[in-house]
C-alpha cells in the first residue's frame, strides 16, 4: 500500500476518534440547559466530561497537523475555502474551553448562567458546522484548475450540507445523552435515558436521509457496507438504551458515529476534495500529498508516539470511570 493511502486512512482514523470522543462532549454541552435543572445538576453534567474534554480535542489538532504535513494541498484548499465555518468552529471551541475554566470562579448565579450559555453555544455550533463541512467535502466544491476554492460562504450552506449538519447534531445529542446516562445516577440518569431515545429516533431518520443522499450521488461497495453497519449500530444502541444497558448503548452510538465517518471517507477515496466544476480539478491522495520521504518520516514518528497517546488517554478514562451524582457535589 502506498504511503499516501496509508496517511489518508490514518487521517480518517483521527477524525473518527475525534467525532466519537468529542461527540459526547458536544452532546453534554448542548443538553446542559435541558437536563440541568439546578446548579448542582449542571455541575454533575460538566464533571462527567471535565477530566476528558481537552484530551478529546487533541484528536482534531493531530488530524489537522497530519493533514498539513501529509497533504499540504488539501490543507491549504480546505482551510482557505472553508475559512469562515472553520473560524466559527475554532471560536466556539475556545469559548467553550474558557467557560469550563471560568464558570466556577464566582458564586454568582448570573455569572454561571452566562458561562453555561457559552458551553451550550460552544457545543452547538461545532456540532452543526462539522457536519456541514464534511458534507461539502464529500459532495465536492467549486475548485478551479489551481485547486483553489472559488465559491462563496453561502455555497457551503446547500441543502445537502445542512442535512449533514442536522445529522451530526442529532447523533451527538444522542451520544451525549447516553454518555450522561452511563456516567450519572438518579434523576439525571433517568431523564438522559428518555432524551437519548427521542433524540436517537431523530438521529436515525436524519442519518438515513443523509447517507441515502450521499450514496445516491456517489458510492463504493465499502461505503455502502459501512453505512448499513452504522445504521445497525445506532438501532442496537437505542435498543440497549431502552433496557437500561447504558454501556452497550454507548458502544452502539460510538460505533454508529465511527462507521458513518468511515463510510464518508470510503466514499471520498481516492479524492480528498472533489471539484464540482471539472473532475480534473479535484484534489486526490496523489496530487495533494507530500513527498514520499516526508511521509516516511511521519510514519516512523506516528509509529512511536501513537501508542503512547492511546495508552495515556485510555488510562485517563479508566481512572474517571465511576458514576457521579448530586450527592458527590458539595454545597
**Cβ atoms 74, 288 nearer than 8 A:** yes
Domain-located, residue 322:
no
Number of domains in the chain: 1
Residue 58 sits in which domain range? 3-295
Domain-located, residue 221:
yes
CATH code (residue 115): 1.20.1630.10
User: 28: closest CA among 237, 230, 192?
Assistant: 192
Whether 264 has a pLDDT exceeding 80, the answer reads yes
Domain-located, residue 306:
no
Give the CA dihedral 323, 325, 329, 331, nearest 10 degrees.
Answer: -170
Separation of CA 99 from chain center? 20
Of 187 and 326, the one with more pLDDT: 187
Mean pLDDT value of segment 227-242: 93
Of 121 and 50, the one with more pLDDT: 121
Mean pLDDT value of segment 199-226: 89
**Cβ atoms 153, 140 nearer than 8 A:** no
At 331 the pLDDT is: 72
At 104 the pLDDT is: 85
Whether 20 has a pLDDT exceeding 80, the answer reads yes
Domain-located, residue 182:
yes
Domain-located, residue 324:
no
Domain-located, residue 170:
yes
At 325 the pLDDT is: 84
Q: 49-76 pLDDT, tens per residue?
A: 988 998 899 999 999 999 999 999 999 9
Mean pLDDT value of segment 30-44: 91
Tell me which residue has cell 452497550: 248
Cell of residue 67, nine digits: 493533514
Whether 32 has a pLDDT exceeding 90, the answer reads yes
Domain-located, residue 120:
yes
Contacts of 47 (CB under 8 A, 6+ apart): 324, 329
At residue 329 the predicted structure's pLDDT band, cuts being 50, 70 and 90, is: confident
Question: What's the whole-number average pLDDT of the chain?
Answer: 91
User: 71: closest CA among 304, 278, 267, 273?
Assistant: 273
At residue 162 the predicted structure's pLDDT band, cuts being 50, 70 and 90, is: very high
Per DSSP, 21 falls in state H
Model confidence, pTM:
0.93
Domain-located, residue 252:
yes
**Cβ atoms 71, 284 nearer than 8 A:** no
Amino acid at each position: 500500500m502506498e504511503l499516501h493511502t496509508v496517511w489518508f486512512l490514518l487521517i480518517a482514523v483521527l477524525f473518527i476518534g475525534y467525532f466519537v470522543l468529542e461527540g459526547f462532549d458536544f452532546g453534554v454541552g448542548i443538553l446542559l440547559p435541558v437536563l440541568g435543572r439546578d446548579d448542582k445538576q449542571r455541575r454533575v453534567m460538566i464533571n462527567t466530561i471535565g477530566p476528558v474534554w481537552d484530551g478529546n480535542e487533541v484528536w482534531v489538532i493531530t488530524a489537522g497537523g497530519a493533514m498539513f504535513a501529509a497533504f499540504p494541498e488539501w490543507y491549504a484548499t480546505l482551510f482557505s475555502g472553508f475559512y469562515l465555518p472553520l473560524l466559527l468552529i475554532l471560536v466556539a471551541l475556545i469559548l467553550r474551553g474558557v467557560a469550563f475554566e471560568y464558570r466556577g470562579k464566582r458564586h454568582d448565579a448570573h455569572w454561571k448562567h452566562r458561562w453555561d450559555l457559552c458551553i451550550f453555544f460552544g457545543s452547538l455550533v461545532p456540532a452543526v458546522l462539522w457536519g456541514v463541512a464534511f458534507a461539502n467535502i464529500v459532495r465536492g466544491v467549486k475548485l478551479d484548475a489551481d485547486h483553489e476554492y472559488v465559491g462563496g460562504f453561502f455555497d457551503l450552506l446547500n441543502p445537502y450540507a445542512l442535512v449533514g449538519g442536522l445529522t451530526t447534531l442529532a447523533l451527538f445529542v444522542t451520544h451525549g445523552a447516553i454518555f450522561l446516562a452511563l456516567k450519572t445516577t438518579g434523576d439525571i440518569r433517568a431523564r438522559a435515558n428518555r432524551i437519548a431515545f427521542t433524540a436517537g429516533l431523530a438521529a436515525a431518520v436524519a442519518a438515513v436521509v443523509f447517507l441515502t443522499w450521499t450514496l445516491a450521488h456517489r458510492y463504493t461497495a465499502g461505503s455502502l457496507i459501512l453505512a448499513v453497519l452504522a445504521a445497525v449500530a445506532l438501532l442496537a444502541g437505542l435498543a440497549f438504551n431502552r433496557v437500561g444497558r447504558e454501556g452497550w448503548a454507548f458502544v452502539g452510538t460510538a460505533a454508529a458515529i465511527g462507521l458513518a465517518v468511515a463510510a464518508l471517507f470510503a466514499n471520498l477515496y481516492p479524492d480528498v476534495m472533489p471539484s464540482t466544476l471539472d473532475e480534473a480539478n479535484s484534489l486526490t491522495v496523489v496530487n495533494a500529498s507530500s513527498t514520499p520521504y516526508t511521509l516516511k518520516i511521519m510514519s516512523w514518528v506516528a509509529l512511536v508516539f501513537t501508542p503512547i497517546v492511546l495508552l495515556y488517554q485510555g488510562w485517563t478514562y479508566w481512572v474517571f470511570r465511576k458514576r457521579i451524582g448530586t450527592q458527590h457535589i458539595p454545597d
